[in-house]
Amino acid sequence: MTYRVGEPVAVAGRAHSGHHRTPSYIKGKTGRIERVHALFRNPETRAYGDDGLPEVPLYLVSFARSELWPDARDVAEHRVFVDVFEHWLEDAK
Amino acid sequence: MVRGVHDRGGLRTDEPIDRSEHALEDWEVLTDALAGALARRGLVNVDELRRGIESIPPAEYERASYYERWLLSIETILSEKGVLAAGELDRRAAG
């Protein structure tokens, strides 16, 4: 587990045409580790008949609403929580 | 960035969100049970099911209901694995 609770992290902005569990609206955005879930099989390979090993760490990451949708002025500030696998996370600049 | 048809979280829309509920039809309950049975047999896992849904052509994805997408995906995955022969479902459905 590379990241600890409370650490700021950036989500990779890379394109990925195959199955993956990282929604576009968090790509390239910065959030904060809220929870270290556990190790899970990798859905990106398991979706194509592979066993999904080795297992990869999954985190609960929170994002400020204003980070994800800076132009949405009609909604109050709140945080959005998304499960993100470690290989989609980078050190926040 | 290329965005899959399913990857729509956070997209802007002016259309009202339909929050109405509906009772599930028998075939929808059976489809859920079928996916569970196939997973327990090790034939289709949840990541394959999702990948199959995401690979439905966009126009068909938009037309299909939630469990129709599951059925299309199950057919795709089982056909890939040779559990279903090409055209087998259509032939059986035709009786």
B6 neighbors B54 (Cβ within 8 angstroms): yes
Domain count, chain B: 1
Contacts of B81 in chain A (CB under 8 A): 49
Predicted pLDDT of residue B1: 60
Neighbouring C-beta atoms of residue B92, cutoff 10 Å: 9
For residue B87, what is the domain's CATH number?
1.10.472.20
Residues 52-81 of B with CB under 8 A from A: 54, 80-81
SS3 A25: helix
Residue B16 lies in a domain: no
Q: Is residue B89 part of a domain?
A: yes
Q: Is residue B11, in this structure, part of any structural domain at all? A: no
The CATH class that applies to domain A8-91 reads mainly beta
Residue whose C-alpha is closest to residue A57's, from A87, A30, A19: A87
pLDDT on residue A87: 98
The whole-number pLDDT of residue A73 equals 77
Neighbours of B36 (CB within 10 A): 11
Q: Which residues of B touch A23 (CB under 8 A)?
A: 7, 9-10
pLDDT along chain A (93 residues), means of 10: 96 94 97 98 97 98 95 86 98 89
Angle in degrees, 0-180, between the axes of helices B66-80 and B26-40, rounded to the nearest 10: 40
Q: Among residues B87, B49, B1, B39, which one has the least CA distance to residue A12?
A: B1
pLDDT recorded at residue B12: 83
Whether residue B16 has a cis bond before it, omega within 30° of 0 = no
In a domain, B2, yes or no: no
pLDDT in tens, A50-66: 999 999 999 999 999 99
Query: Which DSSP string corresponds to B21-43?
Result: --PPPHHHHHHHHHHHHHHHTTS
Distance CA A68, CA B56 (A): 28
Q: Is residue B71 assigned to a domain?
A: yes
Domain that holds residue B75: 26-93
- The answer, as to whether pTM is greater than 0.95, is no
Q: What is the mean pLDDT of each run of 10 residues along chain B (95 residues)?
A: 85 88 96 98 97 97 97 97 91 87
Q: Do A27 and B3 touch (CB under 8 A)?
A: no
Nearest to B47 among A13, A27, A43 (CB): A43
The C-alpha R_g of chain A, in whole angstroms, comes to 14
> Does B78 reside within a domain?
yes
